[in-house]
Amino acid sequence: MGMGMAPPPLLLLSFLLLPLLSTAAPAPTTTLRLYRHLPHVEEAAHHHPLSRLAAASLARAAHLKGHRRGATSKGSKQHPQAAALYPHSYGGYAFTASLGTPPQPLPVLLDTGSHLTWVPCTSKYQCSDCPPAAAAAAAAPVFHPNNSSTSRIIGCRNPSCLWVHSAAHLAAATNCTRSSVCPPYAVVYGSGSTAGLLIADTLRAPAGRTVQSFVLGCSLVSVHQPPSGLAGFGRGAPSLPAQLGINKFGYCLLSRRFDDNAAVSGSLVLGDAKPAAGGNSMQYVPLVRSAAGDKQPYAVYYYLALTAVTVGGKAVRLPERAFAANAAGSGGAIVDSGTTFTYLDATVFQPVADAVVAAVGARYKRSKDAEDGLGLRPCFALPQGAKSMALPELSLHFKGGAEMKLPLENYFVVAGRAPPVPGADAAVSSAEAICLAVVTDLGPNGGAGDVTGGPAIILGSFQQQNYYVEYDLANERLGFRRQPCAASS
């Protein structure tokens, strides 16, 4: 994420200066409904849904790795930065936040890979190249500060202005006085950007958990962004957990098979979670800091103490960068709610993919058409008449002995009858296949692409389905346990 000065948008608002930041006393555990954010999307007939998921996951990885170039997977015709943005591009898990006085309910996407919360703001909000379709865009919810008696703009000398601008930048600003406004922010993502002004307002949640002066971005202009805002749950002072004053939060991500059922949701827990039904115990993984220290954006991420990856019970020989980040922020494994398919950089992906192919052996035929059309690999053609396939187990091992044994549906995805790939035999192209639900950025000849910066592994939401994942910030650890996440509304 990059932040910097942006031309001041035209504002028809007037605010008072922000009073001293204040938070409420600790409150009981709060549980919020966490649902898939599924606005209307224009479907492209020639794009399989999985190809868009793969492209969006790569665009997200490009953002988290700190560079903005488009990366493509081997054989894929997709360019992530030009791919249509749709709900799952940011993981697709949202909850409702109530802002202002009186409260204005707004959907925001849960994002553990960033720490600034922002919402579409004012009746003048403009979003270019953004879903949903133009006819439905007018109905997309936006926050109206003029309708809130508690909205305040952040001043240039307010400490929270340093969340989006460096001290050197503010010191060089000749008009940065106690009475002037904090300069506009600009947040640049892998697939677009958003810009606006920092404001403060009352954030309300159930069980009395309220922040009187919650600082967030009032975005006035966006490019290629989702119709809702983002709630930053990453490390750092601007994050929602930090401003709420909580040291533990968690989520249970609903299985993607419920994507077409809006009545079923997962959950976001602010505070301690209840014990799981059935007695599944929590396993804990140490959270580690990037060797890059406070260097952005790596200081925001939750790095995991990964020690090994096994396929079919056999350890995969991986480079050191898979397990730890260096002082430049290159390497290491992070967990991210906003990435859909897990990302492995090419130096990590190739050994894992080779291990999967070796474990499958000659039982199933590779589906090159599916791989080329979807941007996922390896893909195996489903034998005619087969109702099941024998596939290897994939497990992640962590310092301290914790092991995440992923269920098959969390790391393989069934590719239904996709639109034919141009130039391919129609009967073969439309055959069903099953693909490893992992993305990478391979070079044009299948070699390693740009692996110089950012995390080597990004554990995405697809792999976290039906897990309760707990961020224990006080003890610097991440907990996980398998449990059903479906709850009917």
- Residue closest to 466 by CA, chosen among 257, 249, 306: 257
Average pLDDT over residues 364-377: 90
pLDDT on residue 428: 39
441 a catalytic residue? no
Average pLDDT over residues 188-210: 83
Q: pLDDT band at 47, cuts 50/70/90?
A: low
Partnered with residue 302 across adjacent β-strands are 335
Residue 278 reports pLDDT greater than 90: no
pLDDT digits (tens, 9 = 90+) for 280-332: 789 999 999 888 888 888 899 999 999 999 999 999 999 999 999 999 889 99
Taking the C-alpha atoms of residue 192 and residue 221, their distance in angstroms, rounded to an integer, is: 11
pLDDT on residue 42: 43
Taking the C-alpha atoms of residue 82 and residue 75, their distance in angstroms, rounded to an integer, is: 16
Contact 258, 38 (CB under 8 A): no
- Residue closest to 240 by CA, chosen among 208, 211, 273, 197: 211
111 a catalytic residue? yes
Which residue shows structure tokens 């439905």? 136
pLDDT digits (tens, 9 = 90+) for 448-467: 455 568 999 999 999 999 99
- 3 state SS of 166: coil
Residue 252 reports pLDDT greater than 50: yes
Residue 425 reports pLDDT greater than 50: no
Residue 190 reports pLDDT greater than 80: no
Residue 353 reports pLDDT greater than 70: yes
Q: pLDDT band at 197, cuts 50/70/90?
A: very high
pLDDT on residue 232: 93
DSSP secondary structure of 1-48? -EE---PPPP-----PBP-----PPP---EEEEEEE-----PPPTTS-
Give the residue with greater pLDDT, 209 vs 368: 368
Give the residue with greater pLDDT, 108 vs 12: 108
Average pLDDT score over the chain: 80
Give the residue with greater pLDDT, 384 vs 277: 384
The torsion angles phi and psi of 428, rounded to 5 degrees, stand at -75, -45
pLDDT on residue 11: 34
Average pLDDT over residues 105-114: 91
Taking the C-alpha atoms of residue 422 and residue 284, their distance in angstroms, rounded to an integer, is: 47
pLDDT on residue 481: 95
Average pLDDT over residues 210-238: 91
pLDDT on residue 20: 32
Which of 201, 336, 369, 372 is the catalytic position? Answer: 336
Which of 111, 201, 369, 441 is the catalytic position? Answer: 111
To which H or E segment does residue 398 belong?
Answer: strand 394-398
Give the residue with greater pLDDT, 273 vs 215: 215
Residue 383 reports pLDDT greater than 50: yes
Residue 371 reports pLDDT greater than 80: yes
Residue 167 reports pLDDT greater than 80: yes
pLDDT on residue 29: 85
